[in-house]
Structure 1
């Protein structure tokens, strides 16, 4: 019986969380959604550039090339 009650309470909390997040996403204007999209896209590009740079530094360090 306790498990049943705990399950119901957790389900209610989970449902409220999902509903709140969905309302927040739906209430955003088109301009805010575009801003979020481009911000996320730029973040992904930055991460890609950092990975390339770290790979190049690792290669240079491994094979004895000295950076300028």
Structure 2
């Protein structure tokens, strides 16, 4: 099974899910999992500043367990 990664959100995309976009000038292909990711990607938002992305959560250390 070929699992891809969402270009904006960073989550896994399983086969037959999500959408693909190709740039016309260089042909690079981007994958988006949901319409929410698609709209944010097309409006050129920065995923490091959107609080529901995996990149934001890694940057701000959200959802990680602390070791004692």
Give the TM bin, normalised by the shorter chain. under 0.3
TM-score, length of structure 1 as denominator length? 0.27
The structure whose RCO (Cα within 8 Å, separation 6+) is larger is 2
More helix by share: 1
More strand by share: 2
TM-score, length of structure 2 as denominator length? 0.27
